[in-house]
Every structure is written in structure tokens, then in C-alpha cells.
Amino acid sequence: MSSAVVSNTATLQKYLDLPQNGAVLAEYIWIDGTNGIRSKCKTLSKSPESIDDLPEWNFDGSSTEQAPGHDSDIYLRPAAIFKDPFRKGDNIIVLAECWNNDGTPNKTNYRHECAKLMEAHKDSKIWFGIEQEYTLFDQYDNVYGWPKGGFPGPQGPYYCGVGTGKVFCRDIVEAHYRACLYAGVDISGINAEVMPSQWEFQVGPCEGIKMGDELTVARYLLTRVAEDFGVKISFHPKPLQGDWNGAGCHTNVSTEQMRNPGGMKYIEEAIEKLSKRHKEHIAVYGEDNDLRLTGRHETASVANFSSGVANRGASVRIPRSVAKEGFGYFEDRRPASNIDPYLVTGIIAETILGSIPE
């Protein structure tokens, strides 16, 4: 069933065609206290030339698990601007950081520290590319397209699948792809995943703080596109128990030194540093990630760090082509699909490049 049950998109179109008389709609989006995204819209009298032209705004943090009722005002500080693929025209999406009344970053605002760290290390030109896996559910919380009360056949035909019965909901995936391109998100590809109705999109490579920004906006766009189709997006790392793959956010990483000839030396040094902080990394690599990192289904055990060339059962993989050429990037396979990307890119930068110098 689609959302047409409760809304009428054909009739809506008539109103969307009305001119806006110069107004610009700015949809402010932010990360809430439940690891979800919230948004509210503001009318602007003209297009901002930069982030500095955008007003600070606020919302009721007691309704989003971000503040107590007696001190509920949370401030939205604009951090990045994207084009709005839903409203189009001059309308925009504004990614905002959440700040408390007393001038401290809100408990959900991991972007602030991450941005400081990336700024301190900007000479290293650190790039990230995140592979976001996710699962589709229908409005009754059944995995989308699975037989009612039963299961599809075992995994095998679904990964990068083509054809009826092998692939589910390609329309949402395609719509999201276009929405990202329009918005200005550096989406680098998509593919159907191993579990039926599970998909992946890749964002990047993005330098420094941009990784978290672009992934957050890409997640917002996906959730919002799926709303149009009456479908739910799950970022849970193990949406289904049993012999079904979990969902991750493989995080690919390189510094300028790693990308140049002879870079393998720096890749190996980075992996050595990562191996010494496994526990600290796992602590911020997503809730319920232990359900996914079992050592089965193309994962490594949550308990131990491992690495290897072309090994999809290791914590960190060096792609075969990188090992062959002797430079490039590496892949941290541990992060779960539900990570905060600022926490993950932040701790990776900190471990490899060091904490912020005093």
C-alpha cells in the first residue's frame, strides 16, 4: 500500500505549481535524540549567499529527547546548505547543529568536536567514503516485499540482483539517487545487498567534516523519499535474526600521503594505530553492532581486531587493487549502519592523525 491512502499527490501538484512570489523555503534538518532526523521549515525573503546569511533558529527539545521540559529550547545553528529536490527552485535544505541554551553543544551534536578536529588536521587532506546499508520495511513493519507470514529463498540471488523476485523496490533507490544528485550530495553509487530488500548507497570520497554532512543529508533524503512511497527505512545493524546479513557503514579512509605512490607505508601505520584502539572505536561504531559483528556474514568478531588484503572477514580490509598499486585507501568494515558519522570519522581521524594540538 502506498501513502496515497492518506494523501493525494496528484491534487497536491496543482498547488506546487503556484509561484512563491520570491519567497525561499528553507527546510532546517537536524539529528534528534533517538538517532533519527527531524526537520522544520522557515520562509526566507531571499536566497542566502552563504551560511552566514541564514538565521539561527530553535525548536522544542523536550519533544525530540534532546532537552528536559523545564529548559526545552534548543538552538539550530546552520552548518551546510543543499538544494531541495522536493520543493526545487530556489528552495533549500539547511543542515543545522544543535546547541543548548547555556552555549554548550547539545548531547546529540557530535559535529562540533568533529569539525574542530578536522580543521586541526586539514593539511593531511583526509578523505572518507561511506557505504550506507539499509533495509526497507512496509508500513506494517514487514520486510518490504517478503511473502506474508513467510520468508523468501535463502541469500544468493539478491546481491546486485536483477529481475523480479531478486530485487525489491528499485523505484525508491532510483528516486533517492536522483534526489542526492540534485541536492548536491556526492553520492558515488548504489547496489542491492545480500539480504533481499536491503540496499546500499555510497557517499564520497568527501574531505573532513563534509563526510558527516553529506551522509546525514543523504539519510534525510532517503527517509523522505521513502515517505512518498509509504515505505519505512531501517538503519538497524541486524534488522532480522537468523541467516540474514546485517547492515553496516563500511568507512573507507585515505590521507594525501596514502593516496600517493609509496602510500602503503602510511596505510600500514594507520592500521597499526587502529589495532591498538579497537575497544574505543567499537564503543562509537553503533548500537547493537555486537549483533552484527559475529564473525559470520562477511564480518569480523566484535571482540578482536584483524586486518587483511581483500579479506571481507577482517575488521579492516586493504582492497586488492590498492595492495597491487602500493597506494590508495583502506576500508574499516566495523561501523554499523546506524552510526553517527561525525563520531566515526572523528575517532578515525583522531587515532590516525592525533588529537587536537593544545
Q: Which does 32 bind (CB under 5 to 8 A by kind): ligand ADP, Mn ion, none?
A: none
How far apart CA 142 and CA 199 sit, in angstroms, is 16
Choose, by CB under 6 A, the member of 78, 204, 263, 335 that binds ligand ADP.
Answer: 204
The yes or no reply on residue 334 touching ligand ADP (CB under 6 A) is no
Binding to Mn ion by CB under 5 A, coded x per residue (else -) over 127-166, reads ----x-----------------------------------
Apex CA 341: angle with CA 336 and CA 346, to 5°?
115
Number of H helices, E strands in the chain: 9, 13
Q: Which are the contacts of 138, defined by CB distance < 8 A and separation ≥ 6?
A: 1, 144, 145, 230, 231, 232
Residue 7: DSSP 8-state: -
User: Left if phi > 0, otherwise alpha if psi is -120 to 50, otherwise beta: which for 145?
Assistant: left
The yes or no reply on residue 200 touching Mn ion (CB under 5 A) is yes
How far apart CA 58 and CA 260 sit, in angstroms, is 45
Are 315 and 307 in contact by the 8 Å Cβ rule? The answer is: yes
Stretch 278-317 residues interacting with Mn ion (CB under 5 A): none
Smallest distance, ligand ADP to C-beta of residue 24, A: 31
Are 82 and 183 in contact by the 8 Å Cβ rule? The answer is: yes
105 or 308: whose CB is closer to ligand ADP?
A: 308
Smallest distance, ligand ADP to C-beta of residue 333, A: 8
The yes or no reply on residue 218 touching ligand ADP (CB under 6 A) is no
Q: Output the residue with the shortest Cβ distance to ligand ADP.
A: 129
Place of cell 553517527: 340
How far apart CA 11 and CA 273 sit, in angstroms, is 58
Binding to ligand ADP by CB under 6 A, coded x per residue (else -) over 113-142, reads --------------xxx-x-----------
Smallest distance, ligand ADP to C-beta of residue 146, A: 24
Smallest distance, ligand ADP to C-beta of residue 352, A: 12
Binding site for ligand ADP (CB under 6 A): 127-129, 131, 188, 202, 204-205, 250, 252-254, 259, 328-329, 331
Binding site for Mn ion (CB under 5 A): 131, 200, 250
